[in-house]
Structure 1
Amino acid sequence: MKLQQLRVLLAVAQNGSIHEAARSLHITQPALSKTIAELERELGVTLMLRTTRGVTLTAYGTALVKRASLVEQELRHALEDIEAIRGHDEAQLNIGFTAVASGGPLPNTMASFRRRFPNVALRAYEQRPQQLFEGLREGRLDLALVSTCNGPGTNAFQWEPLFSLSMHVAVRTGHPLRRVRKLRTLLEADWLVLDPIDEPGSPLVSTMRVNGLELPKRMVQSASNLLGLQLATQTDLVSMWSDTVFHDAGAVRMQPGLLERLPITDEIPDFDVYLVYRSADLMTHMCAEFAKEARHHAKVNPPWRRPRRKAGAG
């Protein structure tokens, strides 16, 4: 099995057609088809099915594409490490994060990293935890900042505690429910949620679960923190936000006095944010430098706190 064969297979999987894959690789369609046929012959299986609508990967093809993607990313990492040793800082760094994790030192981390390494193509993606794990597993992400109130997750990755955030139930200033102290009283209110309601680790789901309550019946869901903040401060929607929103810190900020924290006496779980990666030994030089910046900025500038000490997963 040759790297060129894997690159051809990946191109077909990414483009969904022989024609587009050949064009992206600047080779002829017969040459591409020949490469795929040779790979299938070597493996003794059919990797893709050709139809009038394009190509579809078989189970064999899907399995190989996942591994081939990881091989390609590791090769890119190896070349970037070589360039770093030579004193060149041209590289690509893909960072993933959850919505809660963005409300911390991430913006300052990215800014300081960019000042040190202006030639690195830094890409950041807000995703759900399972999407982040998949990206790490397949090599599409180099590092992730994952928020959870349940401690480290899968043992497939390293989990390094970074910081903790308190969560608060909040309403717009002057809201008629602003003095409510019990979550049960809010179950009939209109809520804003920033995470999918089928995400078990979301702040709202976690809070209701630890208090033995059902989810509110009426909810508006927004995948955008910025839109969510506008809705929270300009409508009667009840919402949940981290400390950073109320202290003009982190990624999402607002004009002071637009949002009030409710004096809730029920338990609201803190969220711990972890640096999650496949292996410290496999980190590229640039990834390791970004992790250093994240650790540094997590130690300064409240309101986030040092994480609660929990055993990480190796």
Structure 2
Amino acid sequence: MKTHQLNVLVTIADTGSIRAAARTLDLSPAALTRTIRDLEADLHVPLVNRSATGITFTEYGRALVVHARLVVAQIAQAEAEIDAMRRAPAGKLTVGVTPWVALAFLSETTRCFLDQMPDVQLEFYEGLAGVVQPKLRDGTIDFVIGRLAPVTVQSEFRHVPLFVTHSTVVARRGHPAAHARSLAELTDATWLLPWDAGSRDSHAHILFRRYGLAEPKRIHYVHSLAIALAQLADSDMLSIFPWPLVESDMVRERVCALPIGDDLEETSIGIISRRGQPMSSVAECFVQCLRNVISDGVRSSDPDRRRLFHAIEVVT
């Protein structure tokens, strides 16, 4: 297998046809067809099914596309690394970010990073682990800032902890249960909770089981922070947010924390990357900027800024 063959395969998968891939690569459709046939001959298996309506990938083709994406991405990263050593860093950095982490820390981290590497193009994906991990796996994303499902910590991904934080119950201001002091008082409430496809059990099942309580009967799930905030602000639903998110200006204007005395879940946030693949100097710079933002916030003399970081324990 040759690099240009894998690049052709990935481009066909991304564009959906040989003609579209040919336009993207500025080559003729006939040249791409020959490339795929040569690759099939080398591997002794069919990679695509050809018909009058176009092509589809065989099971061999689909399997090879997954590996081809990683190879192509790794080569692009190597080229960017060499370019960075020769001159001012450029290229592109793609980061997956858990939504609440993005809202609490991302803008300041981005400013810090672009001050140091103004010629690097940034691309962000917002999503829970079940959304961004497939993109990390195929090389679309360079690394993820978020929570890693425990079952994969020691397998295909590497997880470097950044900080630990806790969560609290939130509701709209003036909610009838605004003065509740325990989860036991809230089992009859309607809940709106995040659902992470990377977790075996639901958020509510784990939380209420810990205190020997029955899981609430009325639970709805949400995959968007914006949707969650809109729903909470205009209803009597309850949710569970990490403390740094609760203390952010945008959220504090719309919901408030309930004075729950129970010790809710502890969340470890870290950098998730493909195991066995070194991070580029550009990625390392971004991670260091994030570390600096968090460390400076924890030690800040500004009470408003320090409030955002009061529930964070930095992992050294």
TM range (shorter): 0.7 to 0.9
Q: State the AA in 1 paired with 2:257.
A: R
Aligned equivalent of 2:242 = 242
Greater relative CO, 1 or 2 (CA 8 Å, sep 6+): 1
What is the Cα deviation at residue 49 of structure 1? 1.0
Is the CA contact 1:161–1:275 (under 8 Å) kept in the aligned structure 2? yes
Q: Say yes or no: does 1:297 pair with 2:293.
A: yes
Q: State the AA in 2 paired with 1:303.
A: H
What is the Cα deviation at residue 140 of structure 1? 1.5
Is the CA contact 1:194–1:222 (under 8 Å) kept in the aligned structure 2? yes
Aligned equivalent of 1:312 = none
What is the Cα deviation at residue 196 of structure 1? 5.0
Any residues of structure 2 matched to 1:1-314 within 5 Å, and which?
1-147=1-147, 153-196=153-196, 199-200=199-200, 203-248=203-248, 252-255=250-253, 258-278=254-274, 282-301=278-297, 302-307=309-314
Deviates more, 1:81-90 or 1:184-193: 184-193
Aligned equivalent of 2:306 = none
Q: State the AA in 2 paired with 1:306.
A: E
Deviates more, 1:118-127 or 1:179-188: 179-188
Aligned equivalent of 2:304 = none
- 1:220-248: CA deviation from partner (whole Å, max 9, x where unpaired): 44433133223223321111112123323
Is the CA contact 2:91–2:119 (under 8 Å) kept in the aligned structure 1? yes
Is the CA contact 2:171–2:258 (under 8 Å) kept in the aligned structure 1? yes
**Cα distance in structure 2, aligned partners of 1:191 and 1:197:** 18
* C-alpha RMSD of matched pairs (Å): 2.7
Is the CA contact 2:149–2:199 (under 8 Å) kept in the aligned structure 1? no
**Cα distance in structure 1, aligned partners of 2:27 and 2:220:** 49
**Cα distance in structure 1, aligned partners of 2:114 and 2:137:** 26
Change in CA separation of 1:30 and 1:13 when aligned onto 2, cut-off 3 Å: same
What is the Cα deviation at residue 112 of structure 1? 1.0
Q: Quick check: which one's helix share is greater?
A: 2
Q: State the AA in 2 paired with 1:54.
A: G
**Cα distance in structure 2, aligned partners of 1:126 and 1:168:** 22
What is the Cα deviation at residue 152 of structure 1? 7.6
Which blocks of at least 5 consecutive residues in structure 1 are unaligned?
310-314
Deviates more, 1:211-220 or 1:3-12: 211-220
User: What is the TM-score of this pair, normalised by structure 1?
Assistant: 0.86
Change in CA separation of 1:36 and 1:130 when aligned onto 2, cut-off 3 Å: same
Change in CA separation of 1:144 and 1:209 when aligned onto 2, cut-off 3 Å: farther
What is the Cα deviation at residue 270 of structure 1? 1.4
Aligned equivalent of 2:301 = none
Change in CA separation of 1:214 and 1:196 when aligned onto 2, cut-off 3 Å: farther
Deviates more, 1:191-200 or 1:130-139: 191-200
User: What is the TM-score of this pair, normalised by structure 2?
Assistant: 0.85
Q: Percent identity?
A: 29
